[in-house]
């Protein structure tokens, strides 16, 4: 009698834990592609932040462009990473990549992918 009860129980366990490996690979692909795009976006955001700070400095000193005062522009670009608002700027620019990553990681775990 025990054998008769044990077999259906074992079949239930394996059917509940089935993993669709194609979905796991697709989710992993999304995670990888998102990480690559985030790295590229981070590089762009750093450059954009430098240029934003250059434009602020030019306006502050009354210059129109870097041709008038190249040393100022070069100095601001070199020191742009020391500004306290860099973190906020990057977070604002990269939030969409963080959301995609969180959702993909959640789906990855939900589907039992390892």
Query: Within a domain: residue 83?
Result: yes
Helix (H) or strand (E) holding 68: none
Local confidence band at 7 (pLDDT 50, 70, 90 cut-offs): low
Q: How many structural domains does the chain have? A: 1
Query: Within a domain: residue 13?
Result: no
Q: How far apart are CA 41 and CA 94, in angstroms?
A: 7
CA distances from 81 to 4, 27, 111 (A): 69, 34, 40
Q: List pLDDT tens digits, range 70-102.
A: 788 888 888 888 888 889 999 999 999 999 999
Query: Within a domain: residue 70?
Result: yes
Query: Within a domain: residue 1?
Result: no
Q: List pLDDT tens digits, range 20-51.
A: 889 999 999 999 999 999 999 999 999 999 99
Strands (E), the chain: none
What is the extent of the structural domain holding 67? 20-110
Comparing 12 with 48, the larger pLDDT belongs to 48
Comparing 30 with 16, the larger pLDDT belongs to 30
What per-residue confidence (pLDDT) applies to 81? 80
Query: Within a domain: residue 31?
Result: yes
């Amino acid at each position: 009698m025990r054998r008769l009860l044990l077999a259906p129980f074992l079949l239930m366990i394996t059917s509940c834990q089935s993993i669709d490996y194609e979905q796991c690979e697709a989710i992993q692909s999304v995670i990888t592609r998102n990480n690559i795009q985030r790295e590229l976006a981070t590089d762009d955001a750093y450059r954009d932040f430098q240029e934003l700070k250059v434009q602020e400095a030019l306006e502050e000193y009354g210059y129109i462009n870097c041709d008038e005062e190249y040393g100022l522009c070069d100095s601001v670009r070199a020191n742009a990473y020391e500004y306290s608002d860099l973190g906020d700027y990057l977070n604002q620019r990269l939030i969409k990549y963080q959301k995609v990553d969180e959702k993909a990681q959640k789906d990855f775990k939900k589907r039992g992918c390892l």
